[in-house]
Chains A and B, each alone.
Chain A
């Protein structure tokens, strides 16, 4: 699972690139055991996408970010980038089959205000951090729920399979038994219990 830290796109492209690279490095440090190949391909996709689209002006209305999921890789397409602060998280965990449209709820767009740049950034980061924590918790909860469902389903399947197997075996054994009864009815007659017979009675 790959989770991007939120990153903000400022008006100066150079600064934003640096920030983004920093953020990427940080997140890959947090998740070193994940396969690097998925990390790099996911990252590459994003940045190519980022650079290919021209930065729109402040006035323009951003088109909705289109989100598509394809098989194992979940990828984002970016809309407008300038002046728009977007926080996003990426999850490429295919086994859980996340519908990635849900993550559009994660996208938080804050219009640029005319407060000082550093204050803006701090407030941004605080809210980003808390929303990041919230997002992480949400993901964890989702995974936990998925595991719980899988657990329940696996046990049910096992029991159903066992029942079917036992029923079959039962039928087979009963069948065998009836065949034995038919084949040799006399052999199965319980012999009369042997009781003790007197052979001699004491004379007194």
Chain B
């Protein structure tokens, strides 16, 4: 896909969170059998529990780290908590899923209060097993710095969805 048509670029995920990278491993995220496609909208009630994450690759001895962040916390027009870490799973063997890894930071349900937030899943290849550790806190997480700190290199896959506060009674546009 040409660079400027890539949904990750158009949606500013590449820019706000990540540097340009080449996808090399498949990453499938499913919330109750609803697959996450870039830029799709999900309701907070649909993403309360952690999704099923399946990754590709071929060698079971290669381990991957999955990061889920909200770059629009607390509000997209003033993201002073960018990025907010929602989930961190390490040591995921290739061809398996997040349930086979180590949940280093437990899944926190998205609960956007103001504006429409992006929630980004990023997959990194680890150099070895048990080489990635939890940060001190969730807010103001920096994926790029984190990757540099633990020698994760550039991402191998990423996908994101949009989510806003659920309103009751208002007719959707």
Contacts and interface: CB of A to CB of B under 8 A. Distances in A.
A15 interface: no
A95 B6 CA distance: 16
A155 B38 contact: yes
Interface residues of A, number: 16
Contacts of B115: 144
B162 A151 contact: yes
B10 to A, nearest CB: 4
5 tightest A-B contacts by CB? A155-B39, A154-B11, A154-B10, A158-B7, A158-B38
A54 B105 CA distance: 61
A28 to B, nearest CB: 16
Given A154-B7, A154-B11, A154-B39, 13 more contacts: A95-B12, A144-B77, A147-B12, A150-B10, A150-B11, A151-B39, A154-B8, A154-B38, A155-B7, A155-B39, A155-B40, A158-B37, A158-B39
A72 to B, nearest CB: 13
B37 A162 contact: yes
Contacts of B40: 155, 158
B1 interface: yes
Nearest to A162: B37
| Chain B interface helix/strand/loop/mixed | loop
Interface of B: 1, 5-8, 10-12, 15, 37-40, 76-77, 80, 115-116, 162
Contacts of A155: 7, 37-40
Contact of B37 (A95, A150, A159): A159
Contacts of A158: 7, 37-40
Interface of A: 33, 95, 140, 143-144, 147, 150-151, 153-155, 157-159, 161-162
A21 to B, nearest CB: 26
A161 B5 CA distance: 9
A148 to B, nearest CB: 8
A37 to B, nearest CB: 19
Contacts of B15: 95
Nearest to B37: A158
B77 A151 contact: no
B77 A140 contact: yes
Nearest to A160: B5
Contacts of B37: 155, 158-159, 162
A157 B77 contact: no
11 contacts: A95-B15, A144-B76, A144-B115, A151-B162, A154-B11, A157-B5, A157-B7, A157-B39, A158-B37, A161-B7, A162-B37
B36 to A, nearest CB: 10
A157 B12 contact: no
Q: Which of A140, A143, A153, A157 has the most CB of B within 10 A?
A: A157
Contacts of A154: 7-8, 10-11, 38-39
Nearest to B77: A140
B162 A157 contact: no
Contact of A153 (B8, B10, B76): B10
A162 B37 CA distance: 9
Contacts of B76: 144, 147
